[in-house]
C-alpha cells in the first residue's frame, strides 16, 4: 500500500431510533458523490449504531440495587447510572479516582462501561449504551451495504476510549466485519532479512484512529468515514474482538 484516502460524509443526518442505517449511509454517499469500490472500509461511529438500535436508557427508570447505591454514594453519582454500569459489566476493576473502570460484558476494559452522555438529546437522565451485539451489528451493516452497493466493502464500528499511560482519547475498533482486525506478522522478515519476533498489528484500531481524526468529538457530526486504498486482502480476516487481550496474556497486568 502506498496511499490511503479518508473521506468524511458531510451533513450526515441525526440518527433516530429504528432508522435504517445502511440506507442513510447509502443516501449520504450519493449526496457526497462518493462511489463505493470493492475493498473500501466504512468506519461508523458507535454512537449512531446505538441510536439506530434504540439503546437509550432512562436513569430514573432503573431500580438501583444495594451495590449501585453504595457506588453512587462513593462517587457522588446517580444510583440509576451506577446500576446501568453494573448491568453492562462483567467485573469492576477499580472505583478509585472518581471513575468506575470495568470489564465490559463484551470483554474490553473501559471507563463507565462505554456509557455515553454527550452527543445525545438534551435530557440529562438519558444514557446511550453500546450496541447489544456490536459484531452482529457490524456484519449486518457490512452485508447490507455490500449487497445494495454491489461492492464487497468492510465495516468497522468505532468508539473513542481513554487509555492507561496516555492522555486524551483515541478511536478504537469495537467490532468489524470483512476485514483483518489483528494482523499476525510472525514468520515474515524485516528489511534486513531478520525474522520478526513479536509482531501483531492492531490494524483495525489504527484504521479507527485514522477515521477518528475526521470524526472529531465535538460538534462536527461526521460519524461515517470512508477509507480507500487499504489492502485488506494481504492478511486473513478476523473480528475486532481479537483485539481484546485477556488478563493472562496482557503483559501490563
Binding flag, residue 221, a second copy (CB under 8 A): yes
**Surface-to-core class of residue 209, CB atoms within 10 Å of its CB (0-12 exposed, 13-18 middle, 19+ buried):** middle
Binding flag, residue 191, a second copy (CB under 8 A): yes
Binding flag, residue 133, a second copy (CB under 8 A): no
Binding flag, residue 35, a second copy (CB under 8 A): no
Binding flag, residue 138, a second copy (CB under 8 A): no
Binding flag, residue 69, a second copy (CB under 8 A): no
> Is the Cβ–Cβ distance between 158 and 44 less than 8 Å?
yes
Q: Return the range that interacts with a second copy (CB under 8 A); candidates 1-9, 51-59, 68-76, 139-147.
A: 1-9
Q: Rounded distance, CA 143 to CA 184, Å? A: 25
Distance in Å, CB of 242 to a second copy, minimum = 6
- Grid cell for residue 136: 452482529
CA distances from 209 to 34, 44, 157, 163, 195 (A): 21, 12, 12, 13, 28
Q: Return the range that interacts with a second copy (CB under 8 A); candidates 52-60, 73-81, 140-148, 243-251.
A: 243-251
Distance in Å, CB of 66 to a second copy, minimum = 25
Binding flag, residue 61, a second copy (CB under 8 A): no
Rg over alpha carbons for the chain, rounded to the nearest Å, is 19
User: Is the CB of 83 or the CB of 208 nearer to a second copy?
Assistant: 208
Instruction: Output DSSP code: residue 11.
Output: T
User: Is the CB of 111 or the CB of 143 nearer to a second copy?
Assistant: 111
Binding flag, residue 76, a second copy (CB under 8 A): no
Binding flag, residue 126, a second copy (CB under 8 A): no
- Grid cell for residue 53: 438500535
Amino acid at each position: 500500500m502506498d496511499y490511503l484516502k479518508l473521506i468524511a460524509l458531510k451533513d450526515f443526518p441525526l440518527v433516530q431510533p429504528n432508522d435504517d442505517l445502511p440506507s442513510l449511509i447509502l443516501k449520504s454517499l450519493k449526496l457526497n458523490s462518493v462511489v463505493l469500490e470493492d475493498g473500501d472500509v466504512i468506519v461508523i461511529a458507535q454512537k449512531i449504531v446505538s441510536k439506530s438500535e434504540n439503546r437509550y436508557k432512562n436513569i430514573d427508570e432503573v431500580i438501583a440495587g444495594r451495590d449501585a447505591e453504595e457506588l453512587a454514594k462513593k462517587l457522588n453519582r446517580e444510583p440509576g447510572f451506577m446500576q446501568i454500569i453494573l448491568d453492562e459489566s462483567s467485573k469492576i476493576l477499580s472505583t478509585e479516582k472518581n471513575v468506575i473502570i470495568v470489564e465490559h460484558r463484551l470483554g474490553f476494559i473501559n471507563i463507565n462501561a462505554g456509557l455515553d452522555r454527550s452527543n445525545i438529546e438534551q435530557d440529562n437522565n438519558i444514557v446511550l449504551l453500546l450496541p447489544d451485539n456490536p459484531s452482529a451489528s457490524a456484519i449486518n451493516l457490512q452485508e447490507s451495504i455490500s449487497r445494495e452497493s454491489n461492492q464487497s466493502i468492510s465495516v468497522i464500528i468505532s468508539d473513542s476510549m481513554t487509555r492507561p499511560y496516555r492522555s486524551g482519547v483515541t478511536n478504537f475498533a469495537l467490532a468489524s466485519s470483512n476485514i483483518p482486525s489483528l494482523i499476525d506478522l510472525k514468520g515474515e522478515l524485516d528489511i534486513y532479512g531478520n525474522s520478526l519476533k513479536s509482531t501483531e498489528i492492531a490494524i483495525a484500531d489504527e484504521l479507527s484512529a485514522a477515521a477518528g481524526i475526521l470524526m472529531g468529538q465535538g460538534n462536527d457530526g461526521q460519524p461515517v468515514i470512508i477509507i480507500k486504498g487499504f489492502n485488506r486482502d494481504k492478511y486473513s480476516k478476523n473480528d475486532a474482538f481479537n483485539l481484546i487481550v485477556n488478563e493472562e496474556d496482557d503483559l501490563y497486568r
